[in-house]
Structure 1
Amino acid sequence: MNNIDVLLSRLTWPSVLVRERAAVALADLMSQEGTVMEQTQNTIMKWIGQQNLESAAILGIIAFCRLADQHRDKLPEPGIINHELRKHSLLSFELLRFLYGDHALKPDWTQCHSGEPTNNFELPEFFEKFRTNFLPPIYSRWLKEVQDRTLLPMFRQWAFEWTQLVSLGYKPSAQVLDFGGRSPGLRMLVDFPLSEVYRSAYLRSLAWAVTKGRLPEETACYLAREACPIDLGLWRVQPASKPPWWPSPIPSLGTIDTVPAQLSTILSELWDKKHEVFKENALLAASGIIQCGANTYNLSIRAMFQAATGPIVGDPVQIMKSCDDAQGSYTGQDVYFAGVLNPIKTTDISLVSHDWSILPASVYVRPHVFPRWQYWRGYRGIQLPASFLASEKLSFRCETDSIRIFEGTTQIGTWQDWTDGVTEEFTNNLPHPHGWVLFVHSDLVDEFSRLSHSKLAWICEIKMFHREHEHEDFREFSTYQLHGTTNLVLPS
């Protein structure tokens, strides 16, 4: 077995992190000159053609997508991958459109599913019992929504497609789900062969709904993206190092937890020295883990525009929730995180809390693909500047070091993240060992503050996670701090 075959075997490894590294390595080999590139591309295309499952064949196409993002000129000619591919799907069509645009051939959707189940077909007990174990529950939620809207028996079709695929030699067994000896709440993000059976059956069911004329192709493609393991744009962004200013408190020595008090002091000093630390930039948002001895903390910083009409201070819990609830959207590619931020009205995300008016300075923007291979980014989320900060439309694109944000052609901000010991294992109610920061040029926030007669301020949330014994779930406690707020009524 040569190196290429080893990497291809790793594409279907249970570990999502191993799969991602294998795809990157295959793309790197395809970017080489001469026979290495040719041999690697031919071997991968042959491997794609040998796959019996739609979601497995997609993994080979993903490697070509990585190549296209780095070296588009080294892609094989349009139609070659399509010719080798035997298991077409809505998602393979989406990825081939990313690779070749209008040159991608649309499959015959009637050939992308198994037809109708017989009248006496019954849902297998195993399928129903474990469909939310081998796949995240979101797959079932999507199909239930399709079933409710179209009145098509989507779960029956999903089970039927699953049965057809299982008959190819995949033994239904839940034994792989029993890891044994795990602490409460500990999860592993892995994909087993049966996961791919469920996922491929999901894609086939969507294609069936399209051929029934009850589910628009565009909607079906949107739902098929759930099976894509990585956002192709975010994949380009390499995690950076943790910022040197990120708090590093000293572990508590006694029974009293002194870390929150230390963090309060560190954040106060950071606010006071922000111009010295951040130079010409303003920190709009940050979120990340702080590991201190045996205890885990999560710090969230949100910048907001604040104005007062009286002496009663706003409720920090309410303010933080308002900042976390602020959502944005973008217009851009379907499987590649890049595009133009859609306009947001200030009234859509503003809050009045007692005598304070609050306007979050940033919003969560969700990629169209949940990056299963980089799950920490999906769970913690991505924030970008609110569109009203700029006089022109804001756009963004992914580069190797960050997500870069532009006003017109001028770069005005960056989003960067870092990891700190990410593995396939994580605990349900603990934050992932990951963090990110969002900056914009200070002159944007200064100008908006002037025009809106408000002050830029921070709200900081420190979450503490604690348990007495290993067999217990973690308990969560939160404290809040405000920096830069005012109770003075500013002139309008």
Structure 2
Amino acid sequence: MLADFMLKEVYGPLASVGDWTSQHSGEVPPSFEPRGYFFRDRTAQVPSSLGDELTRLEQASRFPFVKQWAFEWEHVKTVTDAPLSGFPYHFLDASMTRSGVSAQIDQRQGDIYRSAYLRTLDCAVDLWRMPLDVAYAAACKCLPLNRGLVDIERVDRPHWLGGLPDACAADGAPLENIVRKIVKAGSTSDTLVPVHLKTPLSLSISEFSSLTVSCTLLTEDYVPLQDTDIAALDGAAWKLPMGALFSGQARQLEPEDHFRPAAQGKCIPLCVDVFPFPFGYWFGDLFHLGLSLPASYAFPHPISYRCANGIILTELDRQPVGRWTTWNDHWTNLYPKGGNTRCGALTEMRQADILAAADRFGLKVGWTADVKVWPAKKAMEISSCRARASTFSMTVMLCAEWPPVPRLCASSREKNRSL
């Protein structure tokens, strides 16, 4: 089914791989009872969204989708003689797991679960009269690649970052002043300037660490809620307009839904973490990092996203108004709880659009910054996260030097907290 869908995506509606509807094991017998491994280890091998989708279909149709999945899994496992994947000790030490470290790993049983999932949909089309468009939509949850995102290329870490991110990790470091230097260092162009940055710190600081800097629109009296990740972005699901191609008009978001929780004042980021559907599960590291793209509410007219020349472009009237680039920094497949693998990303927008958005909202241009470090306690173990955060606004003007030497408009705050 999935191959049939992909061929139609690439070559048009007449392309086909032939009759695939009989590629299943028959309807599950009433007496069949799934073995314990199937349910116990399911979410360790594949995303919970697969089980959620079949549960939803079962509730809507009253057909035994989940039990059929287990039946197909048992059949495929037996035919392929696939071993029952256990703890991936070759890639992840047990003590690191106890410290909250996980790994992005696709084991053999992941293929078995996905194959059984697709065979369940084949059965539903063949025997339960499931509409083909509904089956295709469900099958796309097993799509390995997204057209467009497959062309994303890693760039070099921006040279202007230098050692500035590492300086944020020092005890008592003036986080606000360092962030100002980072913003100024990345704003040497008259066109695109940074609006969101997420980057790991150097290995000399910690294998697991990150700095996030995000441009926001805020009031001068803005005070974030305590114990919140002040630089995190909201997620925004995006049903792709053209099948499985990452291209087309962005979803129109309501700004009222994206103001950050605040103890006082208002704050709204200029970017959101876009999650496209279909997404392609081979891009797990990118989605874990976040496709942080300019939000549609930051512009007065509809915008679109597309991949070109290895990056993601944001366009307005077919003219580039933003770009997103990503890089690896001594990458491994390990990541801590609340963090991501060692890759970074930079989102940029036009200066004029930032100032125009601030004017429309009647808010100041500001910045939120958050640095997280998971120090190593000893070999193969890490401590709980240490985090520091800062929020400030600055008066800016459209000129050759962006931003100018800023005048602080609101008091800054810094804090240390144990997560």
Alignment of 1:358 with 2:270, yes or no, is no
Give the secondary structure class of the aligned counterpart of 2:137: helix
The CA distance in 2 between the partners of 1:303 and 1:199, in whole Å, is 40
Alignment of 1:290 with 2:201, yes or no, is yes
User: Which position in structure 1 is the counterpart of 2:70?
Assistant: 159
User: Which position in structure 2 is the counterpart of 1:388?
Assistant: 297
CA spacing shift, 1:456–1:162, aligned 2, 3 Å: same
Which has the higher Rg, Structure 1 or Structure 2?
1
Does the aligned pair in 2 maintain the 1:231–1:369 contact within 8 Å? yes
Aligned to 2:255, which of 341, 346, 349? 346
Q: Structure 2: any 5+ residue segments left out of the alignment?
A: 395-408, 412-419
Using the TM superposition, give the Cα deviation of residue 115 of structure 1 relative to its aligned residue in structure 2, in angstroms: 1.9
The CA distance in 1 between the partners of 2:332 and 2:273, in whole Å, is 25
Give the secondary structure class of the aligned counterpart of 2:58: helix
Using the TM superposition, give the Cα deviation of residue 463 of structure 1 relative to its aligned residue in structure 2, in angstroms: 1.3
Using the TM superposition, give the Cα deviation of residue 289 of structure 1 relative to its aligned residue in structure 2, in angstroms: 1.1
User: Which position in structure 2 is the counterpart of 1:201?
Assistant: 116
User: Structure with the greater relative contact order (CA < 8 A, sep ≥ 6): 1 or 2?
Assistant: 2
Give the secondary structure class of the aligned counterpart of 1:142: helix
Alignment of 1:122 with 2:33, yes or no, is yes
CA spacing shift, 1:95–1:260, aligned 2, 3 Å: farther
Q: What amino acid maps onto 1:245 in structure 2?
A: W
Does the aligned pair in 1 maintain the 2:161–2:182 contact within 8 Å? no
Please, what TM-score do these two structures have when normalized by structure 2? 0.82
CA spacing shift, 1:362–1:328, aligned 2, 3 Å: farther
User: Which position in structure 1 is the counterpart of 2:308?
Assistant: 399
Q: What amino acid maps onto 2:158 in structure 1?
A: P
| Structure 1 residues 45-444: aligned runs within 5 Å | 89=1, 91-105=2-16, 108=19, 110-174=21-85, 177-179=88-90, 181-185=93-97, 186-211=101-126, 213=128, 216-246=131-161, 248-249=163-164, 258=170, 261=173, 264-271=176-183, 275=187, 277-295=188-206, 296-308=208-220, 312-315=221-224, 317=226, 320-321=229-230, 324-325=233-234, 327=236, 329=238, 331-351=240-260, 353-444=262-353
Using the TM superposition, give the Cα deviation of residue 137 of structure 1 relative to its aligned residue in structure 2, in angstroms: 3.5
User: Which position in structure 2 is the counterpart of 1:53?
Assistant: none
The CA distance in 2 between the partners of 1:265 and 1:321, in whole Å, is 17
| Residue-by-residue CA offset, 1:12-32 (whole Å, 9 max, x unaligned) | xxxxxxxxxxxxxxxxxxxxx
Using the TM superposition, give the Cα deviation of residue 213 of structure 1 relative to its aligned residue in structure 2, in angstroms: 4.6
CA spacing shift, 1:251–1:349, aligned 2, 3 Å: closer
CA spacing shift, 1:153–1:458, aligned 2, 3 Å: same
CA spacing shift, 1:114–1:229, aligned 2, 3 Å: same
The root-mean-square deviation of aligned C-alpha atoms, in Å, is 3.1
Q: What amino acid maps onto 1:305 in structure 2?
A: L
CA spacing shift, 1:330–1:385, aligned 2, 3 Å: farther
| Structure 1 residues 3-42: aligned runs within 5 Å | none
Does the aligned pair in 2 maintain the 1:247–1:290 contact within 8 Å? no
Please, what TM-score do these two structures have when normalized by structure 1? 0.71
Give the secondary structure class of the aligned counterpart of 2:277: coil
The CA distance in 2 between the partners of 1:323 and 1:176, in whole Å, is 31
Report the structure, 1 or 2, having the larger helix content. Answer: 1
Does the aligned pair in 1 maintain the 2:230–2:368 contact within 8 Å? no
Alignment of 1:460 with 2:375, yes or no, is no
| Residue-by-residue CA offset, 1:92-131 (whole Å, 9 max, x unaligned) | 1221122112222386564132221223222134433433
Using the TM superposition, give the Cα deviation of residue 355 of structure 1 relative to its aligned residue in structure 2, in angstroms: 4.3
Give aligned pairs, total. Answer: 391
| Residue-by-residue CA offset, 1:468-490 (whole Å, 9 max, x unaligned) | 234645411221112325359xx
CA spacing shift, 1:376–1:452, aligned 2, 3 Å: same
The CA distance in 2 between the partners of 1:339 and 1:415, in whole Å, is 16
Report the structure, 1 or 2, having the larger strand content. Answer: 2
Q: Structure 1: any 5+ residue segments left out of the alignment?
A: 1-88
| Residue-by-residue CA offset, 1:30-53 (whole Å, 9 max, x unaligned) | xxxxxxxxxxxxxxxxxxxxxxxx
Does the aligned pair in 1 maintain the 2:216–2:365 contact within 8 Å? yes
